C-alpha cells in the first residue's frame, strides 16, 4: 500500500485554444479579473517582433495598461532584473509570451511575487506551457523547480503552427518521455512506497499514446492542435500529481545531465528527452523500437550525432544523471550503469 501524502492541486482556471485567439488576450484577462488595470508582459525580442502588435492591440482594446519586458535568456540574471521592474509596477497579472524560456521566467517571477501568471505559448516545444514547473539557467542544479501553474493559458494554434517545425518535433519528444516517466514512478511506488497517482499517470500516458498513434500525421501543421492539447494535458497531469513525477523521470535526468555535460550545446529540451526515452525504454525492457519509429515519423532526432553530441558525452551523462536528483527513484537506481 503506497503512502498518500496531502498535496495541493493548482490547475489552470481557464484555457483558450484555437486560431487567432491571441486577439482575445485583453478580454481573457478581463474575464479572470474585471478590476485588472495593468499587466506586465515578458517575452524575447523575436517573439515581440512576431506578436507584439497583436498583444498590444488586444490589451489596449480592453483598457489594460501594459509594460513589456524583454528577456533574452531564461537565466537568474533575467529573473532578478525583470522581477525588480515588475515589483515596482505591481501589475494584476504577469503574461509570459513565447517559447519555453519566456514562459519559465514569467512563471518564476509570478511565484516569487505571488502575482497570477498567464501562459501564452508561441511554440509547442514542451509541456511547461501549463505545468507548475520551471527550468532556469544559472542554478547549481540543472533540473526543474516547482512554482505555480498558470491561472490561464491562451494557445493560438495559428501562431504556434508558424513557429519553426523543429520546435513542434521537440514537443513530440517531450511527450514521448511520459512513457518512461510513468514507468519510473511505478518503480518508486513499488520499491520506495512512494505516492502514485493513477489518474495523473494515465493522463500523462495518454498524451504520449496520442503522439505514437498519430505520428505519421503530425508533420502536417494542421495537426498542431493535437500536439498542443497533449502538451497541456501532460502539464495538467503534473498539477494533479502535485509533482513532476508523471512527466519527468530518468529520461529527463539524462536530458539535464547532457545539458550540463555539454555546456548546453546539445539540442532542444524535447530532442534530448526523446533520445533519453529511447535509452531508458531499452533499460526498462520496453518496446524502444516503437519510440524510435515515432520520433523518426515526426522528424525528431534519435541519435546523439543528430544533436551534435559525442558518444563520450552520452556515456558521461548516463553515469551522472541519477546523481543530479538522488531523491528521485528511477530505473537508474535499480540498474547500475558502469
Domain at 48, CATH number: 3.40.50.1970
Sequential DSSP letters for 19-79? TTGGGGHHHHHHHH-TT--EEEEEE-HHHHHHHHHHHHHHHHHTT-EEEEEE-SS-BHHHH
Q: Which of the residue ranges 2-6, 38-42, 86-90, 259-263 would you say has the lowest mean pLDDT?
A: 2-6
| Mean pLDDT, residues 158-172 taken together | 95
Number of DSSP helices (H) and strands (E) in the chain, helices first:
14, 8
Task: Answer whether residue 5 is part of any domain.
Answer: no
pTM, two decimals, is 0.92
Q: Which of the residue ranges 199-208, 226-235, 245-254, 262-271 would you say has the lowest mean pLDDT?
A: 262-271
Q: Which of 277, 285, 235 is nearest to 117 (CA)?
A: 235
Task: Answer whether residue 6 is part of any domain.
Answer: no
- The reply to whether 288 and 243 lie within a common domain is yes
| Mean pLDDT, residues 6-34 taken together | 93
Q: What is the pLDDT of residue 141?
A: 60
Q: What is the pLDDT of residue 224?
A: 94
- The reply to whether 312 and 179 lie within a common domain is yes
CA 295, CA 166: separation in Å to the nearest integer?
Answer: 12
- The reply to whether 114 and 195 lie within a common domain is no
Residue 1 has pLDDT above 50, yes or no: no
Q: Chain centroid to CA 248: how far?
A: 10
- The reply to whether 179 and 152 lie within a common domain is no
- The reply to whether 311 and 179 lie within a common domain is yes
| Mean pLDDT, residues 159-181 taken together | 96
CA 295, CA 303: separation in Å to the nearest integer?
Answer: 10
Q: What is the pLDDT of residue 145?
A: 79
Higher pLDDT, 23 or 141: 23
Q: What is the pLDDT of residue 65?
A: 96
Q: What is the pLDDT of residue 100?
A: 77
- The reply to whether 107 and 227 lie within a common domain is no
Residue 245 has pLDDT above 90, yes or no: yes
Residue span of the structural domain in which 114 resides = 14-163
3-class state of residue 172 by DSSP: helix
Count structural domains, the chain.
Answer: 2
Task: Answer whether residue 9 is part of any domain.
Answer: no
Task: Answer whether residue 7 is part of any domain.
Answer: no
- The reply to whether 325 and 211 lie within a common domain is yes
Q: What is the pLDDT of residue 28?
A: 97
- The reply to whether 247 and 126 lie within a common domain is no
Task: Answer whether residue 3 is part of any domain.
Answer: no
Higher pLDDT, 10 or 74: 10
Q: What is the pLDDT of residue 15?
A: 96
Residue 101 has pLDDT above 90, yes or no: no
Q: What is the pLDDT of residue 137?
A: 63
Q: What is the pLDDT of residue 140?
A: 60
- The reply to whether 179 and 226 lie within a common domain is yes
Amino acid at each position: 500500500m503506497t503512502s498518500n501524502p496531502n498535496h495541493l492541486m493548482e490547475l489552470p482556471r481557464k484555457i483558450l485554444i484555437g486560431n487567432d485567439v491571441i486577439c482575445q488576450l485583453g478580454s481573457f484577462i478581463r474575464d479572470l479579473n474585471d478590476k485588472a488595470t495593468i499587466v506586465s508582459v515578458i517575452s524575447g525580442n523575436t517573439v515581440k517582433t512576431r506578436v507584439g502588435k497583436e498583444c498590444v492591440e488586444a490589451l489596449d482594446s480592453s483598457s489594460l495598461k501594459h509594460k513589456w519586458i524583454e528577456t533574452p535568456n531564461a537565466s537568474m540574471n533575467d529573473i532578478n532584473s525583470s522581477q525588480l521592474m515588475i515589483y515596482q509596477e505591481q501589475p494584476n497579472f504577469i503574461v509570459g509570451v513565447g517559447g519555453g524560456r519566456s514562459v519559465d521566467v514569467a512563471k518564476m517571477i509570478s511565484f516569487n511575487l505571488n502575482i497570477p501568471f498567464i501562459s501564452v505559448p508561441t511554440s509547442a516545444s514542451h509541456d511547461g506551457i501549463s505545468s507548475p514547473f520551471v527550468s532556469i539557467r544559472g542554478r547549481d542544479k540543472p533540473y526543474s523547480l516547482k512554482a505555480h501553474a498558470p491561472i490561464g493559458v491562451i494557445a493560438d494554434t495559428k501562431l504556434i503552427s508558424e513557429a519553426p517545425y523543429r520546435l513542434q518535433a521537440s514537443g513530440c519528444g517531450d511527450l514521448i518521455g511520459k512513457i518512461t516517466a510513468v514507468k519510473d514512478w511505478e518503480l518508486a511506488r513499488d520499491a520506495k512506497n512512494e505516492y502514485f497517482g493513477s489518474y495523473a499517470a494515465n493522463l500523462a500516458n495518454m498524451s504520449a499514446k496520442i503522439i505514437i498513434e498519430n505520428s505519421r500525421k503530425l508533420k502536417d501543421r494542421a495537426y498542431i492542435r493535437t500536439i498542443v492539447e497533449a502538451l497541456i494535458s501532460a502539464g495538467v497531469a503534473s498539477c494533479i500529481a502535485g509533482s513532476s513525477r508523471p512527466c519527468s523521470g530518468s529520461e529527463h535526468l539524462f536530458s539535464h545531465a547532457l545539458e550540463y555535460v555539454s555546456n548546453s550545446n546539445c539540442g532542444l529540451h524535447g530532442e534530448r528527452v526523446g533520445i533519453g526515452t529511447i535509452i531508458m525504454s531499452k533499460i526498462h525492457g520496453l518496446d524502444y523500437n516503437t519510440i524510435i519509429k515515432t520520433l523518426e515519423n515526426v522528424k525528431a532526432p534519435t541519435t546523439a550525432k543528430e544533436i551534435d553530441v559525442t558518444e563520450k558525452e552520452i556515456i558521461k551523462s548516463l553515469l551522472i544523471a541519477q546523481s543530479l536528483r538522488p531523491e528521485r527513484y528511477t530505473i537508474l537506481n535499480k540498474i547500475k550503469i558502469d
